[in-house]
Chain A
Amino acid sequence: MEKIFPRQVHIVIALVWFVVALYMIFLYAPQEATMGEVQRIFYIHFSLACTALLAYFFVFLGSMGYLWKRSHGADDFAYACAEAGFIYCSGVLLTGPLWAKPAWGIWWTWDARLTSTFILWLLYIGYLMLRSYVDNPGRVEVLSAVVGVLGFVDAVIDYMAIRWWRTQHPQPVLAGGPGSGLDPRMWLTVFVTWGAFLCLFFYLVRQRMALGSARRALVELRRARASSI
Protein backbone atom coordinates (compact mmCIF):
# COMPACT_ATOMS: atom_id res chain seq x y z
CA MET A 1 0.00 0.00 0.00
CA GLU A 2 2.77 2.44 0.99
CA LYS A 3 4.58 1.89 -2.34
CA ILE A 4 1.47 2.29 -4.50
CA PHE A 5 -0.04 5.18 -2.55
CA PRO A 6 2.48 6.85 -0.17
CA ARG A 7 1.11 8.62 2.89
CA GLN A 8 2.74 11.91 1.82
CA VAL A 9 0.69 11.84 -1.41
CA HIS A 10 -2.40 10.87 0.60
CA ILE A 11 -2.20 13.92 2.91
CA VAL A 12 -1.57 16.29 -0.02
CA ILE A 13 -4.70 14.94 -1.75
CA ALA A 14 -6.70 15.35 1.49
CA LEU A 15 -5.55 18.97 1.91
CA VAL A 16 -6.33 19.91 -1.71
CA TRP A 17 -9.71 18.21 -1.31
CA PHE A 18 -10.37 20.34 1.78
CA VAL A 19 -9.55 23.54 -0.13
CA VAL A 20 -12.15 22.54 -2.76
CA ALA A 21 -14.66 21.63 -0.01
CA LEU A 22 -14.19 24.99 1.75
CA TYR A 23 -14.67 26.82 -1.53
CA MET A 24 -17.90 24.92 -2.10
CA ILE A 25 -19.17 25.44 1.47
CA PHE A 26 -18.65 29.20 1.47
CA LEU A 27 -18.90 30.24 -2.19
CA TYR A 28 -20.73 27.56 -4.18
CA ALA A 29 -23.53 26.24 -1.95
CA PRO A 30 -26.60 28.52 -1.80
CA GLN A 31 -27.63 30.19 1.44
CA GLU A 32 -30.38 28.35 3.29
CA ALA A 33 -33.58 30.42 3.46
CA THR A 34 -34.52 30.22 7.17
CA MET A 35 -31.24 29.73 9.06
CA GLY A 36 -28.96 31.85 6.87
CA GLU A 37 -25.20 31.37 6.84
CA VAL A 38 -25.08 29.45 10.15
CA GLN A 39 -26.58 26.49 8.25
CA ARG A 40 -23.14 26.06 6.59
CA ILE A 41 -22.08 24.31 9.83
CA PHE A 42 -24.25 21.45 8.53
CA TYR A 43 -21.63 20.47 5.91
CA ILE A 44 -18.93 19.74 8.47
CA HIS A 45 -21.33 18.48 11.16
CA PHE A 46 -22.90 15.94 8.80
CA SER A 47 -19.52 14.81 7.41
CA LEU A 48 -18.03 14.40 10.89
CA ALA A 49 -21.09 12.48 12.11
CA CYS A 50 -21.20 10.07 9.15
CA THR A 51 -17.46 9.41 9.48
CA ALA A 52 -17.69 8.90 13.26
CA LEU A 53 -20.41 6.27 12.72
CA LEU A 54 -18.47 4.63 9.90
CA ALA A 55 -15.37 4.60 12.12
CA TYR A 56 -17.25 2.62 14.77
CA PHE A 57 -18.37 0.18 12.08
CA PHE A 58 -14.67 -0.29 11.22
CA VAL A 59 -13.88 -0.75 14.93
CA PHE A 60 -16.55 -3.47 14.94
CA LEU A 61 -15.07 -5.16 11.83
CA GLY A 62 -11.50 -4.97 13.18
CA SER A 63 -12.63 -6.34 16.55
CA MET A 64 -14.51 -9.22 14.91
CA GLY A 65 -11.42 -9.90 12.78
CA TYR A 66 -9.24 -10.06 15.89
CA LEU A 67 -11.62 -12.32 17.82
CA TRP A 68 -11.97 -14.65 14.85
CA LYS A 69 -8.41 -14.84 13.49
CA ARG A 70 -6.33 -13.31 16.33
CA SER A 71 -4.87 -11.04 13.66
CA HIS A 72 -2.69 -8.19 14.95
CA GLY A 73 -3.42 -6.29 11.72
CA ALA A 74 -7.16 -6.36 12.49
CA ASP A 75 -6.48 -5.21 16.05
CA ASP A 76 -4.24 -2.35 14.87
CA PHE A 77 -6.97 -1.35 12.41
CA ALA A 78 -9.66 -1.33 15.13
CA TYR A 79 -7.45 0.68 17.49
CA ALA A 80 -6.54 3.22 14.78
CA CYS A 81 -10.21 3.62 13.75
CA ALA A 82 -11.24 4.08 17.40
CA GLU A 83 -8.70 6.84 17.92
CA ALA A 84 -9.58 8.69 14.71
CA GLY A 85 -13.29 8.02 15.32
CA PHE A 86 -13.01 9.63 18.75
CA ILE A 87 -11.63 12.81 17.15
CA TYR A 88 -14.51 12.84 14.63
CA CYS A 89 -17.12 12.15 17.31
CA SER A 90 -15.67 14.99 19.42
CA GLY A 91 -16.04 17.22 16.35
CA VAL A 92 -19.71 16.21 16.09
CA LEU A 93 -20.31 17.14 19.74
CA LEU A 94 -18.56 20.49 19.25
CA THR A 95 -20.29 21.55 16.04
CA GLY A 96 -23.74 20.22 17.05
CA PRO A 97 -24.35 22.63 19.96
CA LEU A 98 -22.82 25.50 17.94
CA TRP A 99 -25.47 24.90 15.31
CA ALA A 100 -28.26 24.06 17.77
CA LYS A 101 -28.01 27.33 19.71
CA PRO A 102 -28.84 29.67 16.79
CA ALA A 103 -31.22 27.13 15.15
CA TRP A 104 -33.19 25.82 18.17
CA GLY A 105 -32.33 28.39 20.85
CA ILE A 106 -30.70 25.75 23.09
CA TRP A 107 -27.21 24.26 23.21
CA TRP A 108 -28.27 20.72 24.04
CA THR A 109 -31.26 18.48 24.67
CA TRP A 110 -31.36 14.85 25.74
CA ASP A 111 -33.22 13.53 22.70
CA ALA A 112 -32.56 10.07 21.24
CA ARG A 113 -30.06 11.14 18.56
CA LEU A 114 -28.04 13.47 20.76
CA THR A 115 -27.99 11.05 23.68
CA SER A 116 -26.93 8.07 21.55
CA THR A 117 -24.15 10.19 19.96
CA PHE A 118 -22.97 11.19 23.44
CA ILE A 119 -22.96 7.49 24.44
CA LEU A 120 -20.96 6.69 21.28
CA TRP A 121 -18.40 9.31 22.37
CA LEU A 122 -18.24 7.70 25.84
CA LEU A 123 -17.76 4.30 24.18
CA TYR A 124 -14.82 5.66 22.20
CA ILE A 125 -13.32 7.03 25.43
CA GLY A 126 -13.93 3.70 27.22
CA TYR A 127 -12.26 1.77 24.40
CA LEU A 128 -9.21 4.08 24.37
CA MET A 129 -8.92 4.06 28.18
CA LEU A 130 -9.01 0.27 28.15
CA ARG A 131 -6.17 0.24 25.61
CA SER A 132 -4.12 2.66 27.70
CA TYR A 133 -4.61 1.27 31.19
CA VAL A 134 -4.73 -2.52 30.76
CA ASP A 135 -1.08 -3.52 30.44
CA ASN A 136 -1.43 -7.20 29.65
CA PRO A 137 -0.54 -8.20 26.05
CA GLY A 138 -3.10 -10.62 24.62
CA ARG A 139 -5.74 -9.79 27.21
CA VAL A 140 -6.08 -6.10 26.32
CA GLU A 141 -6.70 -6.96 22.66
CA VAL A 142 -9.48 -9.42 23.57
CA LEU A 143 -11.15 -7.05 26.07
CA SER A 144 -11.10 -4.10 23.69
CA ALA A 145 -12.38 -6.29 20.83
CA VAL A 146 -15.35 -7.27 23.03
CA VAL A 147 -16.04 -3.57 23.74
CA GLY A 148 -15.68 -2.87 20.00
CA VAL A 149 -18.26 -5.53 19.12
CA LEU A 150 -20.78 -4.78 21.92
CA GLY A 151 -20.52 -1.00 21.45
CA PHE A 152 -21.63 -1.35 17.85
CA VAL A 153 -25.20 -1.74 19.14
CA ASP A 154 -25.11 1.94 20.14
CA ALA A 155 -23.75 2.95 16.71
CA VAL A 156 -26.79 1.25 15.12
CA ILE A 157 -29.18 2.94 17.58
CA ASP A 158 -27.45 6.27 16.90
CA TYR A 159 -27.93 5.85 13.15
CA MET A 160 -31.56 4.75 13.46
CA ALA A 161 -32.60 7.13 16.29
CA ILE A 162 -34.06 9.80 13.98
CA ARG A 163 -35.91 7.12 12.02
CA TRP A 164 -37.34 5.28 15.04
CA TRP A 165 -38.31 8.24 17.26
CA ARG A 166 -39.53 11.82 16.91
CA THR A 167 -36.55 13.92 17.95
CA GLN A 168 -35.52 17.54 18.28
CA HIS A 169 -32.72 16.64 15.85
CA PRO A 170 -33.84 17.06 12.20
CA GLN A 171 -35.03 14.05 10.21
CA PRO A 172 -32.46 12.37 7.93
CA VAL A 173 -31.39 14.09 4.70
CA LEU A 174 -29.63 10.93 3.52
CA ALA A 175 -31.92 7.97 2.81
CA GLY A 176 -34.68 9.76 4.68
CA GLY A 177 -37.57 8.92 2.37
CA PRO A 178 -40.04 11.25 0.64
CA GLY A 179 -39.89 14.91 1.62
CA SER A 180 -36.26 14.76 2.71
CA GLY A 181 -33.49 16.18 0.62
CA LEU A 182 -31.52 19.24 -0.40
CA ASP A 183 -30.85 21.60 -3.26
CA PRO A 184 -28.60 19.80 -5.84
CA ARG A 185 -25.73 22.27 -5.18
CA MET A 186 -26.03 21.55 -1.46
CA TRP A 187 -25.92 17.79 -2.16
CA LEU A 188 -22.75 18.18 -4.21
CA THR A 189 -21.18 20.25 -1.42
CA VAL A 190 -22.18 17.60 1.15
CA PHE A 191 -20.53 14.81 -0.83
CA VAL A 192 -17.35 16.77 -1.60
CA THR A 193 -16.99 17.77 2.08
CA TRP A 194 -17.69 14.25 3.32
CA GLY A 195 -15.15 12.93 0.78
CA ALA A 196 -12.51 15.31 2.16
CA PHE A 197 -13.21 14.23 5.75
CA LEU A 198 -13.12 10.54 4.72
CA CYS A 199 -9.83 11.05 2.88
CA LEU A 200 -8.35 12.64 6.02
CA PHE A 201 -9.82 9.85 8.18
CA PHE A 202 -8.10 7.14 6.14
CA TYR A 203 -4.84 9.09 6.25
CA LEU A 204 -5.06 9.31 10.06
CA VAL A 205 -5.86 5.59 10.28
CA ARG A 206 -2.88 4.71 8.07
CA GLN A 207 -0.60 6.95 10.13
CA ARG A 208 -1.87 5.45 13.40
CA MET A 209 -1.56 1.88 12.09
CA ALA A 210 2.03 2.51 11.00
CA LEU A 211 2.77 3.82 14.47
CA GLY A 212 1.09 0.79 16.08
CA SER A 213 3.00 -1.77 14.03
CA ALA A 214 6.33 0.08 14.59
CA ARG A 215 5.63 0.07 18.36
CA ARG A 216 4.90 -3.66 18.25
CA ALA A 217 8.14 -4.32 16.32
CA LEU A 218 10.09 -2.31 18.89
CA VAL A 219 8.58 -4.25 21.80
CA GLU A 220 9.43 -7.55 20.09
CA LEU A 221 13.01 -6.41 19.43
CA ARG A 222 13.40 -5.45 23.08
CA ARG A 223 11.99 -8.80 24.18
CA ALA A 224 14.36 -10.68 21.84
CA ARG A 225 17.29 -8.64 23.15
CA ALA A 226 16.33 -9.27 26.78
CA SER A 227 16.03 -13.03 26.22
CA SER A 228 19.41 -13.16 24.43
CA ILE A 229 21.27 -11.43 27.29
Chain B
Amino acid sequence: MNKFLFAAFSLVWLLFFIYVWVLSRRQSKLDQELADLKHKLRRE
Protein backbone atom coordinates (compact mmCIF):
# COMPACT_ATOMS: atom_id res chain seq x y z
CA MET B 1 0.00 0.00 0.00
CA ASN B 2 1.16 3.52 -0.76
CA LYS B 3 2.76 5.11 2.35
CA PHE B 4 0.74 8.35 2.00
CA LEU B 5 -2.52 6.41 1.73
CA PHE B 6 -1.58 4.30 4.75
CA ALA B 7 -0.60 7.39 6.79
CA ALA B 8 -3.81 9.27 5.90
CA PHE B 9 -6.14 6.43 6.93
CA SER B 10 -4.12 5.56 10.06
CA LEU B 11 -3.97 9.15 11.32
CA VAL B 12 -7.68 9.76 10.78
CA TRP B 13 -8.62 6.62 12.72
CA LEU B 14 -6.14 7.50 15.45
CA LEU B 15 -7.68 10.98 15.72
CA PHE B 16 -11.19 9.57 16.15
CA PHE B 17 -10.07 6.91 18.64
CA ILE B 18 -8.36 9.58 20.75
CA TYR B 19 -11.50 11.75 20.73
CA VAL B 20 -13.77 8.81 21.70
CA TRP B 21 -11.30 7.92 24.47
CA VAL B 22 -11.36 11.53 25.75
CA LEU B 23 -15.18 11.51 25.70
CA SER B 24 -15.34 8.23 27.63
CA ARG B 25 -12.86 9.57 30.23
CA ARG B 26 -14.98 12.67 30.71
CA GLN B 27 -18.06 10.45 31.10
CA SER B 28 -16.32 8.32 33.76
CA LYS B 29 -15.24 11.45 35.63
CA LEU B 30 -18.78 12.83 35.55
CA ASP B 31 -20.21 9.49 36.78
CA GLN B 32 -17.71 9.56 39.65
CA GLU B 33 -18.67 13.14 40.59
CA LEU B 34 -22.37 12.20 40.49
CA ALA B 35 -21.77 9.16 42.70
CA ASP B 36 -19.84 11.33 45.20
CA LEU B 37 -22.66 13.87 45.30
CA LYS B 38 -25.31 11.16 45.82
CA HIS B 39 -23.22 9.72 48.65
CA LYS B 40 -22.97 13.15 50.31
CA LEU B 41 -26.72 13.77 49.91
CA ARG B 42 -27.53 10.40 51.47
CA ARG B 43 -25.36 11.18 54.49
CA GLU B 44 -27.07 14.55 54.97
Q: Is the interface of B mostly helix, strand, loop or mixed?
A: helix
Contact A44/B8 with A87-B15, A218-B34 known, Cβ cut-off 8 Å: yes
Which residues of chain A are near B40, meaning CB under 8 Å? 225
Given A225-B37, A225-B41, also A99-B8 (CB < 8 A)? yes
Q: A171 near B: Cβ within 8 Å? A: no
Q: Judging by beta carbons under 8 Å apart, are B19 and A204 in contact?
A: yes
- What is the minimal beta-carbon distance from B38 to any residue of chain A, in angstroms? 9
Pairwise interchain contact B37-A214, C-beta atoms closer than 8 A:
no
In the complex, which residues of chain B have a beta carbon less than 8 angstroms from the beta carbon of A36?
Answer: 2
- A contacts with B: majority SS: helix
* Bound Cα distance from A95 to B9, whole angstroms: 8
B34 touches A211 (CB 8 A): no
- Nearest residue (CB) in B for A42 is B8
With A94-B12, A218-B30 already in contact, the answer to whether A87 and B1 are too (CB < 8 A) is no
- Provide a sorted-by-A list of 16 A–B residue pairs whose CB atoms are within 8 angstroms: A38-B4, A41-B5, A41-B8, A44-B8, A44-B9, A48-B12, A84-B19, A87-B15, A102-B2, A204-B19, A211-B26, A211-B27, A211-B30, A214-B30, A214-B34, A218-B34
How far does the alpha carbon of A204 sit from the alpha carbon of B17 in the complex, in Å? Answer: 12
Closest 6 CB pairs of A and B: A98-B8, A41-B8, A95-B8, A98-B4, A94-B11, A87-B19
* Chain B residues within an 8 Å CB radius of A98: 4, 7-8, 11
